[in-house]
Amino acid sequence: MDNLREGIQNHIIELQLEIDNIFARGRNSVVSEVTVGQIYGGMRGLVALACNTSYVDPYSGLYIGKYTTNEFSDKLPEEIFFLLSTGKFPDKESLADFQNDLNKRAKVPQYTWDVLRSLPKDTHPMTMLSLGILSMENESVFKKEYQKGLQKADYWKYTLEDAMNILAKLPELAAGIYRIRFGDGNLIPYDSNLNWSGNLAHMLGVNDDEGFADLMRLYLVLHCDHEGGNVSAFTSRVVNSALSDLYYAVSAGLNGLAGPLHGLANQECLRFILKIHDQLGADPDDKELKKYIIDTLDSGNVIPGYGHAVLRVTDPRFTAFMNFGNDNCAGNHCFKIAKKLFKLVPDILSAYKGGKVASPWPNVDAMSGSLLYHYGLNQFDFYTVLFGVSRVMGFCAQNILALGLGQPIIRPKSVTNKWVIDKLDEN
């Protein structure tokens, strides 16, 4: 992985130069301000973080580096990790070198399987993923080097080692979780002739179809990163900023991803679609489906897969999945219901309660579950694990770059109500 390491080193130098130029223009310049609403409203829209792996434009969606979703959605996850952490796609040789390195590190230790097999049978697969990674923390190269007395400038290099070891093991770990939790518990061996996503598809053992392997590739590409302020990425960065190693940081990020307003929403989406299928049949007409959506809202529930904290248009990742579905499973009932929802939900949400929903458009989760279901991956409790496998690439890249740039421990200031009242009185 020499080329990857060199690419990251060069990227850190480029980013540091940009930051030096920004600082030269005024370290104390004010570029953003905070309202009372933001202090009490989850800091929504507050600009207080820099993240150079990806950017979400409210109107054109996710960019990885300078590339739009359309420009990177045909790539391999390995190429995406390279892009996230170096700002550039790898050439052929660098890609092969990176993939060989992953192959060498792919084996999950036996003690991790022992931990996972000892859990109650109905443990959520996200708990298993988070715990599986945490169980390997003792392997952290960063931790060992830090204890020996590591220079700050080298933090990122050993965090990259940890990232490689974690990323390499994710396909085997995730597939093993699926087989322990939902299958007969027998693990399918890793195949070093397959790439990262191909191996995951193979070791799950649910479908040998090429379409399924391609869906895994697309899924792992589209979920890789979404800026620095979302719950999971931010959590992972905060934890790593205390120099807790990447095993702690990745596990923590995954715990955030496991929430129903974040990564778990994709399993909720499919549950919603299957409920519609059960109650209204495979081909509900628009009128009855509209009523079902409105009844869901009136009973105080959200429509899963719709809305977003940043996006104000249809998520291009949703569109990429819809295009995949049109090409590969246009006749599938769940896919057809997901498409019908896309036709009806935005108008209903726009008009709902005086337009209080900031974005009535679908996010990435509204379509992905139907496609997985089509290929026989019908254990939807597992879907967030796939999201997690992909998102770990973003956690790793963000943390490596932040350490490379010497970013300090994260510690925003909180205030009491009294402080806010006094401040308002002053103004």
The verdict on 371 binding ligand FCX (CB under 6 A) reads no
Q: Which entry of 262, 315, 333, 374 is annotated as an active-site residue?
A: 262
The verdict on 320 binding ligand FCX (CB under 6 A) reads no
The verdict on 78 binding ligand FCX (CB under 6 A) reads no
Please list the residues that pair with 56 across neighbouring strands.
62
> Nearer Cβ to ligand FCX, position 160 or 303?
303
**CA pair distance 367, 343, nearest whole angstrom:** 13
**Binds ligand FCX by CB under 6 A, chosen from 306, 335, 373, 375:** 306
Q: Which of residues 112-141 bind ligand FCX (CB under 6 A)?
A: none
256, 264 Cβ separation under 8 angstroms = no
Per CB under 6 A, the segment of 45-53, 194-202, 300-308, 394-402 that binds ligand FCX is: 300-308
Residues 6+ apart with CB under 8 A from 318: 342, 362, 363, 364, 366, 367
Please list the residues that pair with 306 across neighbouring strands.
362
Clarify whether 365 is annotated catalytic.
Answer: yes
**CA pair distance 345, 360, nearest whole angstrom:** 7
Clarify whether 262 is annotated catalytic.
Answer: yes
The verdict on 358 binding ligand FCX (CB under 6 A) reads yes
Q: Which of residues 5-44 bind ligand FCX (CB under 6 A)?
A: 44
**CA pair distance 332, 374, nearest whole angstrom:** 7
> Nearer Cβ to ligand FCX, position 83 or 309?
309
Q: How far is the CB of 261 from ligand FCX (least distance, A)?
A: 4
The verdict on 47 binding ligand FCX (CB under 6 A) reads no
The residue written with tokens 């694990």 in the block is 385
Clarify whether 226 is annotated catalytic.
Answer: no
The verdict on 363 binding ligand FCX (CB under 6 A) reads yes
> Nearer Cβ to ligand FCX, position 203 or 238?
238
DSSP of 302-350, one letter per residue?
A: --TTB--SS--S--HHHHHHHHHHHHH-TT-HHHHHHHHHHHHHHHHHH
The tokens for 134 are 């945490």
> Nearer Cβ to ligand FCX, position 90 or 125?
125
How many CA atoms, within 13 angstroms, populate the side-chain half-sphere of residue 311? Answer: 23
The verdict on 294 binding ligand FCX (CB under 6 A) reads no
The verdict on 364 binding ligand FCX (CB under 6 A) reads yes
Residues 6+ apart with CB under 8 A from 233: 51, 225, 226, 227, 253, 391, 394, 395, 398
> Nearer Cβ to ligand FCX, position 102 or 357?
357
The verdict on 316 binding ligand FCX (CB under 6 A) reads no
The tokens for 232 are 């999971």
361, 308 Cβ separation under 8 angstroms = yes
State the Rg of the chain over Cα.
22
The tokens for 120 are 């109650």
**Binds ligand FCX by CB under 6 A, chosen from 357, 371, 396, 403:** 357
Q: How far is the CB of 360 from ligand FCX (least distance, A)?
A: 8
> Nearer Cβ to ligand FCX, position 153 or 261?
261
**CA pair distance 117, 369, nearest whole angstrom:** 26
Applying CB under 6 A, the site for ligand FCX has a residue count of: 22
CA distances from 126 to 132, 264, 424 (A): 10, 9, 43
Q: Which of residues 201-230 bind ligand FCX (CB under 6 A)?
A: 230
Q: Which entry of 225, 245, 315, 365 is annotated as an active-site residue?
A: 365
Q: Which entry of 202, 308, 333, 374 is annotated as an active-site residue?
A: 308
Q: Which residue is nearest to ligand FCX (CB)?
A: 307
236, 252 Cβ separation under 8 angstroms = yes
The verdict on 56 binding ligand FCX (CB under 6 A) reads no
Binding mask 243-262 for ligand FCX (x = CB under 6 A): ------------------xx
The verdict on 395 binding ligand FCX (CB under 6 A) reads no
Q: Which residues bind ligand FCX (CB under 6 A)?
A: 44, 230, 261-263, 265, 297, 302-309, 356-359, 363-365
